[in-house]
Structure 1
Amino acid sequence: MTFEAIRSELQPQRVHHYRLHHRGEVLNYKSFLYALAGEPSFRKFFTELLKSADFAGFRWETPPISTSLIDREFEFVLLRSDQFADRETEPEPFAKHFRSDDGSGVVVFSNLGNDATLIAPTPLTCEEAYGHLAAFVRLALPEQVDAMWQQVGETMLRLVSKQPRWLSTAGGGVAWLHVRVDSSPKYFGHTPYREVR
C-alpha cells in the first residue's frame, strides 16, 4: 500500500500539522484507525513518519472523534516539547499495570480518574526508550512499537461512540509514554482540537 504525508508548519519549529494520503486520497479517521489496527505496512509508515520529525521531543494530538465524526479527514499535530528530551523516565506509576502484559509489550488500563483509557508500553529495552513518543519510535524495539500502534487502533475502534473522545500523548505528569483516549481534551495544547467541530 502506498501512503504519504503532507506536512505544514502551523508555528515554525513549534507545531507541525499532518494529513495522510493513500493512493492520492486523504485518509479519514476511520481508515486511519483500521490501518493502525490491521495493516503492518501502514504502522511502519506511520512510525517512520514520526521518527523523522524535527523535534527531539513532541506531543501527538488528534482532533476529537465520535461516530458522527469518524468519516472526517484525519489529521494530527506534533507539538514540540523539548522538556521531554532530557528528563528521566518514571515507570513506577504504571508498574502494577505492567504485570498484566500478555506478552505484546503493551498494556491498556484506565487512568486514576476513570475518565480516560491509557495505552502504554512495558519496559522491554533501555528505559530511555519510554519517556515520550519521540524516544519510543526512535529507540524501542520495532515489534513493540508496532504492537503499540496496533493496540491504539483496536482500542479506539472499540471506544468510538456518540460521545467525543480525544486521542493523544501528553506526558507532562508521568514520565512514561502513554497514549490517552480521553473523554475531554484536558491536556491538549493545540487549541483547535479542543473543540468538537
Structure 2
Amino acid sequence: MWESQIESLNSGCIQKISIFSQTRRVTYSEVIQLWQQAETFRSFFISLLASAPFSAYFWETPPITHSTVNQEFEFVLVDSPQLTKVEPELSSFKEYFESTSEDVITFPNLNQDALLVVPCPIAKSSAYPHLATFVREAPKSQQHALWQTVGSVLEQNLNDRSTWVSTSGLGVYWLHVRLDSYPKYYSFNPYKIAG
C-alpha cells in the first residue's frame, strides 16, 4: 500500500525520503491526515524511521504553509553520531511531565517561537533521548500517539507563515518534535533556505 523512495546524499550521511501510495507521491496534506487517522500509515512511517541505517539522526521536513500544504511530502534523515552518546535528560521537561497523565504532550518552547510535541516517560528512559531510539524502543502505542499529535498540532497551527517540522536533540536530550517559526536547528541547507 505504501512505498518509499530513498535517495542517498552527502556520501551516505543523509537519506532523502519520499512516500508513495501506489505510484503517486503523497502530499504533505495527506500525510498530516494519515498521521492522525491511519494506523497502517503510521506503522509504515514508524518502521521507515526505525530501519534507517543511522544509530541517531536529525529528522527534517521542508517548511510548510497553507499555500504549500499540497506539495509532495518528503523528509531527510541526517546522520548524527554525536546523539548516540547522549543520556536522556528527564529533568528538561519534568514540570510538564508531572502535570499530565497523557503519553504525549504539547507546549511552547521557552522563546514562544516553536511548539514542541514531546513523549512522556512511560518506558525506560533510554527510549527517549532522540527520535531513532524512540522509534526502536518506545511502546508502539506511544509512537503512534506522537505522530497523531504531530499531525493534529500541525493541522491546527498551519497558516501563511512557514513552519519547519523537525527533530534535533542537541540542545535538550529528550525527544521533542519542533514546529518552528524558523529553521533554528536545521542542518539540511535546501530545507533551511526554502522558507
The answer for unaligned runs of 5 or more in structure 2 is none
Question: Any conservation in 2 of the 1:64–1:195 contact (CA below 8 Å)?
Answer: no
Give the 3 Å change call, closer, same or farther, for CA 100–25 of structure 1 in structure 2.
farther
The amino acid that maps onto 1:184 is Y
> What whole-Å deviation, never above 9, does each CA across 1:20-45 have from its counterpart, x for those lacking one?
00121101110011110111110000
RMSD of Structure 2 on Structure 1 (CA): 1.0
Q: Distance in 2 between matches of 1:43 and 1:102?
A: 23
Structure-to-structure mapping, 1:45-194, within 5 angstroms = 45-103=44-102, 105-194=103-192
Q: Structure 1 residue runs of 4+, over 2 Å off?
A: 99-103
More helix by share: 2
Tell me the CA shift for residue 102 of structure 1.
Answer: 4.2
2:14 aligned residue: 15
Counterpart CA distance in 2 for 1:195 and 1:12 is 21
- Residue pair 1:55, 1:80 contacting (<8 A) in 2 also: yes
Contact kept, 8 Å, 1:164 with 1:196, in 2: the verdict is no
Taking the aligned partners of 1:102 and 1:124, their CA distance within structure 2 comes to: 10
Distance 2:20 2:99 in 1: 36
User: What letter is aligned with 1:48?
Assistant: S
The aligned residue for residue 33 of structure 1 is 32
Report Cα offsets for 1:156-190 as digits up to 9, x if no partner. Answer: 01111001100000111000000000000011000
- Preserved CA contact (<8 Å) 1:100 1:107: no
How big is the shift at 1:15?
0.5
Count of aligned positions: 195
Q: TM-score, normalized by length of structure 1?
A: 0.96
Structure 2 Cα separation of the partners of residues 70 and 128 of structure 1: 35
User: What percentage of residue pairs aligned between the two structures are identical?
Assistant: 38
